[in-house]
Amino acid sequence: MPTETFEFQVEARQLLQLMIHSVYSNKDVFLRELVSNASDALDKLRLAKLRDDSLDADVSDLHIELETDPDARTLTVRDNGIGMSYDEVGQLIGTIANSGTAEFLRELREAQDTAGAEGLIGQFGVGFYSGFMVADEVTLLTRRAGEEQGTRWTSRGEGTYTLERVDDAPQGTSVTLHLKPADPDNQLHDYTSVWKIKEIVKRYSDFITWPVRLVGERGDGGEAAEPETLNSMKALWARSRDEVSEDEYHELYKHISHDWRDPLETIQLQAEGTFEYQALLFLPSHAPHDLFTRDFKRGVQLYVKRVFIMDDCEELLPPYLRFVKGVVDAQDLSLNVSREILQQDRHIRMMQRRLTKKVLSSVRSMMTDDAERYATFWREFGTVLKEGLVTDSDNRDAILAVSSFATTHGEDGTVTLKQYVERMRDGQDDIYYITGESRESIDNSPHMEAFRERGIEVLLLTDPVDEVWVDAVGEYEGKRLRSIAKGEIDLGAQDDGKAGEDREKQAEEYAGLLGWLREQLDEDVKEVRLSTRLTVSPACLVADANDLTPALESMYRAMGQ
């Protein structure tokens, strides 16, 4: 069979360069990545076979196998999972599809200095390519389940790779790392050492649900000793919280989310009774950049009795919690459960309700126990969570309780509606807010003048969703939410009585001018009136209380309505 040579995509080459001149201080994680891929491949095969029993694949002993050869200085990670076709190898391994990685490379280019770059690298996953941190050549041999022919992929990571069709490849994938020369001063990093391999698997991959076996050293006759299973395969979600270390939870999070950073919060729930399930959910520490795109992948996996069933199970949490990652393991569902069934299942709906409440109450605890962590959470995910104020009226109060907003009273700080109401001035009946594109544009708005003058607090709302939820929510603890840019706002009650008298007098005085202005602007405005809202600017445009605000108007116009 001819061997064909291909060039890596530009981004892929860039990433490989980073790996080769490696930058990660902790190189051990390459093995975690390869084992994680192997585990995914086994999950996929198991599912494929479940859906189509006629698939010509052996699923009787799905496992991951590690083999070291100190003389040849190789380490092989083998799985008998789904495998890849010839075309898939080119697509999946030769290019960078993972959007997080693409984002990482963009940020890396922007962070010109190397110190900044190193900081960034530690935060992003590079999956399969991380093998090049420890190897100067990588060979991958794979055969897709159900296909006859296999594929061999080889690369030194230097711009090109080769592909070759192979007739006798076993089902699944094996990745062989030709390790870089050993560092005589640093035995700790010898990845042919059985001790080292055991340690890494235990640390990073213990919870993997498939056996990770270490092939014993071969005797003189070439026969291998009994393989040893290195991982406990214990499902972390089924264990009580005090049995599991924070690090173990974090490793599971990284496996599920493909994020290299630690999560912000771990949430566990074990439901007993007629419909039993266990959930282990994570709040990430950073919002992915594609959170607001249509094809954003949710991150909660569904398991049934410890068996992986599906990724990004949409039915488990509402869309406004789509950033939550984790595992839900249900005892009483069929292994054959489909999305259609899930959508109709009463138990799943109950589960969603309970999980939603649990996530919201965890955010609530974070808010009271750890203000800094809550601030991170809100900065990253507040915009998404506020969608729930519009779409989930059942949980509206719970969402409002964990929502906070920028305010005129406090430079960087935010305020909750509860705090706002507590510090409202005497005589103030409403909660005032203003919406706009940025804090700066709001600060310069003439609508702000009278409020600033009187020291009345105004919430500064700058997310597009803000315009929608304020209408949906309407009021909080009997206080109306009022836009200071809409309708007539009488701040008279908050001045002393004399101001009111003055204004009446003024209205008479200016009746002529107002009438003349109304005639001149007839086409463009509904009404011209004296206002208490300005102190410096001579005039401002105000929408009727029921009119659309300018931002909403342009949003609807953009949507073609």
Given a contact cutoff of 8 angstroms between Cβ atoms, the answer to whether 132 and 180 are in contact is no
Which residue from 68, 173, 462, 483 is in contact with ligand ADP, where contact means CB under 6 A? 173
Q: How far is the CB of 51 from ligand ADP (least distance, A)?
A: 17
Q: Which is nearer to ligand ADP, 90 or 216 (CB)?
A: 90
Q: Which is nearer to ligand ADP, 37 or 176 (CB)?
A: 37
> x/- binding map, residues 14-33, to ligand ADP, per CB under 6 A?
-------------------x
Residue nearest to ligand ADP as judged by C-beta position: 127
Could you tell me which residues come within 8 angstroms of residue 109 by beta carbon, excluding any fewer than 6 positions away? Answer: none
Residue 79 in the binding site for ligand ADP (CB under 6 A): yes
Binding site: residue ranges? 33, 37, 79, 84, 99-100, 123-128, 173, 339
Q: With CB cut-offs between 5 and 8 Å by kind, which of ligand ADP, Mg ion, none does residue 92 bind?
A: ligand ADP
Count of residues that bind Mg ion according to CB under 5 A: 2
With CA atoms as reference, report the closest residue to 264 among 234, 291, 287: 287
Which residue from 18, 84, 244, 485 is in contact with ligand ADP, where contact means CB under 6 A? 84
Q: How far is the CB of 180 from ligand ADP (least distance, A)?
A: 20
Residue 82 in the binding site for ligand ADP (CB under 6 A): yes
Which residues, numbered 86-115, are part of the site for ligand ADP (CB under 6 A)? 92-93, 98
With CA atoms as reference, report the closest residue to 142 among 187, 217, 179, 91: 91
Which residues, numbered 112-171, are part of the site for ligand ADP (CB under 6 A)? 127-128
Distance, in Å, from the CA atom of 50 to the CA atom of 359, rounded to the nearest integer, reads 32
Q: How far is the CB of 397 from ligand ADP (least distance, A)?
A: 38
Give the number of other Cβ atoms within 10 Å of residue 174's Cβ. Answer: 20
Q: How far is the CB of 77 from ligand ADP (least distance, A)?
A: 8
Q: How far is the CB of 266 from Mg ion (least distance, A)?
A: 22
> Which DSSP symbol is given to 327?
E
Using the rule CB under 5 A, give the single segment among 32-40, 49-57, 192-200, 395-403 that binds Mg ion.
Answer: 32-40
Element (H, E) at 460: strand 459-461
Q: How far is the CB of 101 from ligand ADP (least distance, A)?
A: 8
Q: What long-range pairs does 181-189 form, CB within 8 A, spacing at least 24?
A: 181/73, 182/73, 189/27, 189/134
Which residues, numbered 253-272, are part of the site for ligand ADP (CB under 6 A)? 258
- What residue has token string 């110190």? 115
Distance, in Å, from the CA atom of 510 to the CA atom of 443, rounded to the nearest integer, reads 29
Give the number of other Cβ atoms within 10 Å of residue 248's Cβ. Answer: 17
Distance, in Å, from the CA atom of 297 to the CA atom of 323, rounded to the nearest integer, reads 9
With CA atoms as reference, report the closest residue to 484 among 469, 498, 470: 470
CB half-sphere exposure, 484, CA atoms < 13 A: 29
Name the burial class of residue 32, with classes exposed (0-12), middle (13-18) and buried (19+) by CB atoms within 10 angstroms of its CB.
Answer: buried
Q: With CB cut-offs between 5 and 8 Å by kind, which of ligand ADP, Mg ion, none does residue 38 bind?
A: ligand ADP
Distance, in Å, from the CA atom of 46 to the CA atom of 37, rounded to the nearest integer, reads 14
Which residue from 81, 100, 127, 299 is in contact with Mg ion, where contact means CB under 5 A? 127
Could you tell me which residues come within 8 angstroms of residue 370 by beta carbon, excluding any fewer than 6 positions away? Answer: none
Q: With CB cut-offs between 5 and 8 Å by kind, which of ligand ADP, Mg ion, none does residue 151 bind?
A: none
Residue 251 in the binding site for ligand ADP (CB under 6 A): no
In sequence order, the β-bridge partners of residue 139 are 154, 176
Q: Which residues bind Mg ion (CB under 5 A)?
A: 37, 127
Residues near ligand ADP (CB under 6 A) are 33, 37-38, 41, 79, 81-84, 92-93, 98, 127-128, 173, 258
